[in-house]
Chains A and B, each alone.
Chain A
Amino acid sequence: IAGITQAPTSQILAAGRRMTLRCTQDMRHNAMYWYRQDLGLGLRLIHYSNTAGTTGKGEVPDGYSVSRANTDDFPLTLASAVPSQTSVYFCASSDSIHTEAFFGQGTRLTVV
């Protein structure tokens, strides 16, 4: 079934550790996004990529980095995790800019 897959589903991480959240889509979508969701704050954009080879900063990029080496994959890396990065992370993709976004199932990350 075509779609967007995130891994892991959940993770407990010690503060200071490095962590990469994986995101893969098989819909050949050009645009991909990473959001974090916190209670009362909705979905906030961390980083985005409008096409393979390019990335951009969203609303809350500090402490996170991304890469877009190919169309399908858009990993999100926390170089040195801090407790404030405890959140639910959603990866999304869209066929092109201005079209509907398809979301992955999310990764629940707890930094202790």
Chain B
Amino acid sequence: GQQVMQIPQYQHVQEGEDFTTYCNSSTTLSNIQWYKQRPGGHPVFLIQLVKSGEVKKQKRLTFQFGEAKKNSSLHITATQTTDVGTYFCAGDEWETSGSRLTFGEGTQLTVNP
């Protein structure tokens, strides 16, 4: 079955440094979604990428979808303490029975002020 791997598992940065998390799928995806989970909270949708090579930006966050639609990345420029949390990618592989979102293990980001 589909596997989605995410690295690194943990990342500690000083406030103001950049941060990147990478996501790789064992199969070609129809789309990829990114979620953020604050400590003690629930996952919250950030963005969805659909097209091969797509790049989307949300303020300091930049999301990329690979040309082969098997990998993705999330880059945060100049991290802030409000960026703390776990970032998950979720691969969507089309099946005849419908959507099957498979989540990566997540990257837990801590930001030291």
* Residues of A near any B CB (own CB < 8 A): 31, 33, 35, 40-45, 48, 50, 56, 58-59, 90, 92, 94, 97-106
Q: Which 4 A-B pairs have the closest CB atoms?
A: A97-B99, A42-B105, A50-B98, A43-B103
Partner of A44, one of B41, B48, B97, B103: B103
Identify 7 residue pairs between A and B in the complex whose beta-carbon atoms are under 8 Å apart, listed by A's number.
Answer: A42-B6, A42-B88, A45-B102, A48-B100, A50-B98, A98-B31, A98-B99
Q: Scoring B residues 23 to 44 as 1 if CB is less than 8 Å from chain A, else 0, what string do you get?
A: 0000000110101000001111
A54 vs chain B, min Cβ distance (A): 9
With A40-B9, A98-B92, A100-B48 in contact, do A33 and B101 touch (Cβ < 8 Å)? yes
Question: A97 to B1, Cβ gap below 8 A?
Answer: no
Contact, CB under 8 Å: A100 / B43: no
CB neighbors of A among B69-106 (8 A): 88, 90, 92, 94, 97-106
Given contacts A98-B92, A100-B45, A100-B48, contact A42 B99 (CB under 8 A): no
Bound together, the chains give a CA A44 to CA B90 distance in angstroms of 11
Chain B residue at smallest Cβ distance from A58: B100
Set of chain A residues within 8 Å of B102, measured between Cβ atoms:
45, 59
A40 to B106, CA, bound (A): 8
Q: Which of B35-71 contact A (CB under 8 A)?
A: 35, 41-45, 48
Residues of chain B within 8 A (CB-CB) of A106 are: 42
Q: How far is the CA of A90 from the CA of B30 in the complex (A)?
A: 24
A58 to B43, CA, bound (A): 19
Q: Bound complex: CA of A55 vs CA of B48, how far in Å?
A: 25
A34 to B90, CA, bound (A): 15
